[in-house]
Structure 1
């Protein structure tokens, strides 16, 4: 066993020296990927000790460690210098945190907010440098967007515009597509698609001049049929496709386009405000639902999906730094990724969506997000089964009568 000490120890010494150097240069981040790589190297070391001669083991282990650390290293980044970035939707959530981070890094940040006196706007004024400029803009109002375009042109005349972060977004209803008013689809499209389109097109001359960056916050709901997010998901799907088109068409101009598809994060201004907003949304839906649909689905159906939605929100991750870090990387990496997937379980979600059968995909999204109960009209005059019983009945090729449960 002693003959293995020097090759194994020598290889680990090389790996440790490079890892330490990368950590000191901030090219490597402590976290699960690094721990996983070290665990795999330890397993490889164990196999080498039993299968290979010492010199071959040293070469293989050192090469594997070097490759692993190279893969984990952050790509080279551009200097911040005097770069100016416009971020939309900075009242709260990702936009506010990204504005604070970029301002602290030395960017000149132009931040749009819905209300210049909102808590988020006041916080940005209080904690950021004088280089950060706030601008009121409503993405549903073309006049506001036109005014913002003029504002950006004036404030970037000397520095140019390096980046646009399309963060502003809207989702104000949770319901089946049949239950969601057409006006809600239009509103989501106005904010998430048409507003983003108008702003991006208006800024392209400045971005072409700087060969800059476009970073857009998407959503997995735009890639997958999340239950009860039809209006929001379709608008995000349209926006992401638009960014893919821009990515291809703007490549000759040197503009790089990235889309960030975050998992479930807590982005609201406060839990009490969120609960009140969603309660008002539910009551508004119930009050305006045609009687025929209310009879078919039942008020308890809508109450159930809102309870499940609020439960999923309670499990959201409060730390927004993974998304903010990806925004920074998309703005400064010499070769930014086309897609970023920050958040817990997002990789698994996309694997299931693209690789597993449709029935398993549907069940996963229901278990992960919202599992609707059976609509009233399908209960055959009896209280609806629980979601688990409903799945069991769907899987049975010869189902018997639906079991009655207490409501």
Structure 2
């Protein structure tokens, strides 16, 4: 069949092949110029794109399928990770929560890379702060910084600005965070919700608002350490997950608003790494005692002593499931800091991609079933559920 112009119409399969060839040529061109960071995730996304092209060709015959495939190719190409890295020379970074975990490891890692590092700690005389002072270079400065204290945030701003003179601050890494206790949302006291929001969200917002003038001056970066729990509903993590979800949304809005200032915003959403955020067995025992004391008689009766006590025994199981090696997180944060065109989101850790995939793409009933059986860890059901036979 020929169109009205009399020219033969190109076969649809040839047009699909043409789009695929153009995409492949563009990717190869950037690879040859060493402008792409082609890791496993990027390679898998391109393979899935080819599969999507076949699905469009079969399920959406005609030009609608071709248009969708072409748009998918364009979006995929634009979101491929850029490997062009900026120099670290004369770049200063403020990191919160450097007493332990990600913050402590990141302060050391970035110091070795050559950054000027301001490491905010909760305890200036704590072991983490002392280690950073003794093992760091003369470019690393340890600051007293409780992110829930406006007074300390203001003082830190004055110290950083004084040290930088007129350079501006290249990056702020909002890393400070707490988990508190893992238990059913109904069992957690309001103090736990408020504390998580104060540290994980409001503290990051307060600090960001304070330091944004210095970030705008440097046209730098804002990197917020959120969590997989901020995008995926995980049993027992209602307080922590809600605070991290708020931080993720805050980051997404700021990314759009700060683009006109030349400030780039990235969100890091790690899965389960061993950072000390779970606290110690003594801390869990104390928190468990506080929870038991504040429960109303009705709630205590409905859940039962054994069900509530079981959460305290989860500590060892959670700790055993955490990843020891923090380098995947450090790598993603450093790329977010020095890549010319960083991604908006980084998800280090296997579960950080697997769990959100289950939640987003599987039917809700199926994903709820999977999460329940993955996370309940052999835990019994509440007494009230047993009584009514659910």
TM-score range, shorter chain: 0.7 to 0.9
Aligned residue among 328, 339, 354 for 1:322? 328
The answer as to whether partners of 1:309 and 1:370 remain within 8 angstroms in 2 is no
Deviation track 1:171-212 (CA, whole Å, cap 9, x = no partner) reads 112122211111221111111111111110111111111110
TM-score (norm 1): 0.75
In the alignment of these two chains, the number of paired residues is 334
**Are residue 228 (structure 1) and residue 228 (structure 2) matched?**
no
Structure 2 spans left out of the alignment, 5+ residues: 1-27, 48-78
Structure 1 spans left out of the alignment, 5+ residues: 1-17, 40-70, 382-400, 403-407
* Aligned counterparts of 1:86 and 1:367: Cα–Cα separation in 2: 40
**Are residue 212 (structure 1) and residue 220 (structure 2) matched?**
yes
5 Å-filtered alignment, 1:158-307, equals 158-268=166-276, 274-307=280-313
How far did residue 74 of structure 1 move?
A: 5.7
The answer as to whether partners of 2:192 and 2:239 remain within 8 angstroms in 1 is yes
1:76 paired residue number: 84
Aligned residue among 342, 348, 352 for 1:346? 352
How far did residue 275 of structure 1 move?
A: 2.0
Q: CA RMSD in A?
A: 3.1
Instruction: Specify the SS of the correspondent of 1:380.
Output: helix
Deviation track 1:143-189 (CA, whole Å, cap 9, x = no partner) reads 11121221221122143200000000111121222111112211111
Report the CA distance shift for 1:27/1:246 in structure 2 as closer, same or farther (over 3 A): closer
**Are residue 119 (structure 1) and residue 144 (structure 2) matched?**
no
* Aligned counterparts of 1:308 and 1:183: Cα–Cα separation in 2: 21
Instruction: Specify the SS of the correspondent of 2:387.
Output: coil
Deviation track 1:103-132 (CA, whole Å, cap 9, x = no partner) reads 001100001001012111111112210110
The answer as to whether partners of 1:94 and 1:267 remain within 8 angstroms in 2 is yes
TM-score (norm 2): 0.78
Report the CA distance shift for 1:328/1:357 in structure 2 as closer, same or farther (over 3 A): same
2:338 paired residue number: 332
Instruction: Specify the SS of the correspondent of 1:248.
Output: helix
Report the CA distance shift for 1:117/1:260 in structure 2 as closer, same or farther (over 3 A): same
Aligned residue among 351, 376, 384 for 1:377? 384
How far did residue 135 of structure 1 move?
A: 0.7
